[in-house]
Structure 1
Amino acid sequence: MIKINEISNIGIGTYRMEDTPEYYKTLKYAIDSGINIIDSASNYNFGNSEKLIGQTITSDIREKVFIISKVGYIQGNDIKLVKEIDNLSLIEFSENFYYSLDPKFISFQLKQSLKRLNTEYIDCYLLHNPEYYFNKGYNKEQIKDIIFASFSLLEREVEKGKIRFYGISCNDFNKIPIIEILESIENFPAFKFVQFPFNIVENNLSDYNVESCNLTIKKLKEYGLFTLSNRPLNTVYQGKTLRLTDMPSQDIESINQKEEMLFDSFQNTIKESLVQLGEDTDLENYYPIFFFVENRKNIANVEAIDKAIYEYLLPFLDALNLRNAETTKLITELRNYWIIYTQWSNQERLNILKQDMIKEHKMSATDKRDFSHILADYYLNKEGVDCVLMGLRKTDYVDKVKSLLL
């Protein structure tokens, strides 16, 4: 089994991965390249992320890979199953999302994860965002009791050999009693890991104010904890989502000309349909299409583009009886242009951030490495993170960072 000090300093986060041949190939390639830690959670792609790992990490290489999973979220088919557990304490955020760190739920979910992961044990099991209790009005004393009860259960699972270590994955340490937890660490010998978002913008753990105590990466490590950072290449900057990686260069003026001609044609098709229906042809009065008139060149990411298309545009076309092969083709072509706008805007804002980093001496103006490589190097060597978890969904993503592996 891999010892903690043998864990690679770059790991794979599988939030967007599921059991497909492409991701199977990527995981195998990453392991062959020297990456030996894989991070997942019971809710990632409704368990399909864990299934991918279970299919990839065969028995002959199991002890060469450190597997992390998490517990807390209740989604999909698990909602119905957990409601059958007697006296289970859980909190409801919506009809499709429940949350619990009740020891009875942890025991239930651990069995499910072990089955999906196709393994006898999980190397590290994390409580997944316990700050959800704070968001539902629990005070820190109540949250401390919940976490310590969870830790006691996890210590017993360590004794059974179902997990080796455990810890906490948290997006905001100010919302949980982290100081009390750290001060009680001697009572929980297998509590060894802590995970948190950390990137060049979200870098509070360089100087994190928790109850007047500066919680730093260095302090966490002084308590004997292994630090895992996530979201290294995704953040919010200038009020919008920013992908911290370089985008393909584009001739934006040429793209503009082609997109505007196509979009004008699309609007004319809609206006013709409105005329036939005897309706007002002023598109400002129809939000589903006017949204794109106003915003199509400024949408933050591909996910937001697709959401707007499926929630606004397509239902609008259905109402006009305009969903056909011709308009579907038009939308597909327009979507490709809108993605280019998103990439171009991302790169423009990223270039501003890079200039700020150069001024702050966080990177050199002459450094020509891929930006994801520069950032991972910075997190590891300047900030002291033990392991940076990255969404290495393609083999060439692995190639960009594997020179950093110890």
Structure 2
Amino acid sequence: MDSVTIGYIGMAVMIVLIILGVPISFALGAVGLIGITMVVGFTQALSQATLVYFHESTNFVLIAVPMFVLMGNIANHTGIAAGLFRATANAVGRFPGGLAIAAVFGCAGFGAISGSSTATVLTMGRIVMPELKRYKYDQQLGAGALSAAGTLGILIPPSLILIFYGIMTENSIAHLFIAGIMPGLLTVFLFSAMIFLIAVRKPEMAPAVPSPGRRETIASLTGALPIIALFMFIIGGIYFGIFTPTEASGIAVVGVSVYGIITRTLTWKTARDALKETIVTSTMIFMIIASGYIVSRFVAITGLTQNLIEFVQSLNLGPYQFIAVITIIYLILGCAMDVLAMLILTVPFIYPIILHYGFDPIWFGIYIVVMAEIALITPPLGLNLFVMNAISPDISFWRICKGVSPFVLMELLVVLLITAFPAIVLWLV
């Protein structure tokens, strides 16, 4: 059996294992190690796997992962999300669909702190859904808007998925962070516009809420200013080269911790809980990244990537035809696969072809994240849909799927716009 055939069989086995629910890191590591063994022998395979695992696990850039995760967990335990939602609700709540629009802005703000889509939906959902019920918002619309807005956590920097992509492809994480700003703002605008249009067309679905007094509005906005200032300081520092993303992650943890201490929301208990959650999440991410590199080594040894490039060349597809094809592939994979698994499975193959077609690797990183956003809200395995269903069990899973469908269309519009106008992504880089 030739090495390329072994490569294809290995990828097929890995897809089956992931779909069957085998932990991603184990599926990747097992397929990679066994596949390399079949090509070069067990002793050399074990040596290569050990070196790859150690080298990638000790990568200095990876320090940013647990630090940004810790920042998000501290923010989750210190009531920052509630303050952000209250500030935006007081500012825009009086407009049609204002409360749901405030939820989108709140998710964008909290997502910029947490870097996690799941944490954003979970935290904001618990705060926002009771308010939507209180003001008689359509629950299907509210659940759909929150599920979709939660995806902003992986696009607006700092984003764990962008860090993950940057490490896998050896691209600048700082440039990826900066590139995510404009598409993130575009997504916020399109989500808000969709809610506004629905509210104007059917006012009973998203009624305006009573306008608070000027003093209350100013007070709530003032309360959110420290977090907004911290975000601007971190992104500004990265953009102007004052510090690296890794250094920024440490500054972010200190900033959020100081905020928690000043507001007396960061206690020994909340700090301990945040640290425990960080250890669990970071360990999982490290294992997935290291195992992903073993699979990448397996793919390189078998010559699978070169074989795929030659196959794509034989199809005579134009650059944008190829983008259309992989968009369809990602939409299909998103229905059946975890986001990280989807990226690990596809990036080693697609990335060299993207470079062959002359696309900017930073642009492709943002494209990948937007497709990951769609995967998070695509039935039947969109993770955000399950999280929202757990928060609001009185809303059926399929009603949530129906509620999120207009926002999936908006995400696809983002894909179309950043493909037609790459400057949206690359303008600030």
- Fold-level match, TM-score > 0.5? no
Which TM bucket (shorter chain)? under 0.3
Higher share in strand: 1
* Higher RCO (C-alpha under 8 Å, 6+ residues apart): 2
TM-score for the superposition, normalised by structure 1: 0.24
Higher share in helix: 2
